[in-house]
Amino acid sequence: MTVAVEKSKEMVLKAGSRMACAGLVTGTWGNISARVPGENLYVITPSGISCDRLSKSDLVIVESGGRVIEGERKPSTELKLHLAIYNAREDVTAIMHTHSTFASAMAVAGQTLPPILEDLAQLVGGKVPVTRYARAGTPNLAAAVLEVLGQSNAVLLANHGVVGMGRNLEEAFQVCMVVEKAAQVYAWASLLGKVNEIPKEEALLLRDLYITSYGQSKNSQPARS
Ligand SMILES: [Zn+2]
C-alpha cells in the first residue's frame, strides 16, 4: 500500500481515540472513514471493535464501489452511508459517525438543530437537518441522509445519532463535537423558554468567512471569539 494509505490509516486511528475519549460513542458503536488523497480508495473502521482499541491492521481499505482492497476485518456496517456521502460531496474527505447523547436526543425528537451558535454556523453552515427514520446499516439510511444533506457538514439520523464530515478528520471531529455541544445548549435554552437563532444570512456569512479565511489555517479550527 502507498504512503498516502498509511498516512490515512494513522489519522483514522488517532480520530478513533479522540472520538472515544470525548465520550461521543458507547462500546463498539460509531465509525470513521477517510478518503485517501489522490487515490480512489477509502480507509474505514471495522465492524464490532471499539474505535479506541484499533490497530492499523484492523482498518479496512475499500474502493468507491465498496469492494474490500485490503484488510482482514469486515468494514463498518455503515460503509454504504460513508460511500454515498463521498459520492455526493466532492468536498468531503473525512466522515465520523457518533451516537452522542444530546444530538441523539434531537434526532429522537425529530428536531432540526438550527444555527444557534457561531461555531456551529462556521463549521456546519446553517441548520443541521434530521432524516426520516431508516434502519442502521441499510442502503435506506444512506438514501435518507442524501435526501437532507445538501451542503451541510452534519446530519442527525432519526432515532440513531449523528454523522459529521469535513475537509479532514480534524474537521469532522470538530463538527461532531460542536453539534453535540449545540444540541445540549439547544435543550437548555428550550427549558429556559426561548431559542434565538442566528439569522440565516448571518449564519451563511459566518460559514463563508470560515471557509475563505479561517479555514485556511493549519488545523482548520473554527475562529475564536
Ligand atoms: Zn450508528
Confidence band for 1, pLDDT divided at 50, 70 and 90: confident
CA atoms within 13 A on the CB side of 100: 28
Closest to 112 (Cα-Cα) out of 204, 195, 210: 195
For residue 221, pLDDT beyond 60: no
Confidence (pLDDT) at 26: 83
Cell for 149?
Answer: 444533506
**How far does residue 14's CA lie from ligand 1's centre (Å)?**
20
Check residue 36 and give left, alpha or beta (phi > 0: left; psi -120 to 50: alpha).
Answer: beta
Check residue 126 and give left, alpha or beta (phi > 0: left; psi -120 to 50: alpha).
Answer: left
pLDDT digits (tens, 9 = 90+) for 133-166: 999 999 999 999 999 999 999 999 999 999 999 9
Burial 159-171 (b: 16+ CB within 10 A, else e): bbbbbbbbebbbb
List of domains in the chain: 3-212 (3.40.225.10)
- Which whole number is the average pLDDT over 167-194? 97
**How far does residue 163's CA lie from ligand 1's centre (Å)?**
9
Catalytic: which of 78, 170, 171, 180? 78
- Which whole number is the average pLDDT over 168-186? 97
Q: What pairing do the DSSP bridges indicate for beta strands 94-98 and 31-35?
A: antiparallel
**How far does residue 107's CA lie from ligand 1's centre (Å)?**
12
Residue 45 CA to residue 30 CA, distance in Å, equals: 9
pLDDT digits (tens, 9 = 90+) for 73-106: 999 999 999 999 999 999 999 999 999 999 999 9
**Helices in the chain by DSSP H: which ranges?**
3-21, 79-88, 101-109, 118-124, 139-149, 169-192, 200-212
Query: Which of the 8 DSSP states describes residue 67?
Result: -
Confidence band for 218, pLDDT divided at 50, 70 and 90: very low
Can 78 be counted among the known catalytic residues?
yes
**How far does residue 132's CA lie from ligand 1's centre (Å)?**
15
**How far does residue 214's CA lie from ligand 1's centre (Å)?**
31
Q: Is 73 exposed, middle or buried (0-12, 13-18, 19+ CB in 10 A)?
A: middle
**How far does residue 217's CA lie from ligand 1's centre (Å)?**
31
For residue 216, pLDDT beyond 80: no
- Which whole number is the average pLDDT over 51-75? 95
Contact by Cβ (8 Å): 223, 209: yes
Contact by Cβ (8 Å): 105, 41: no
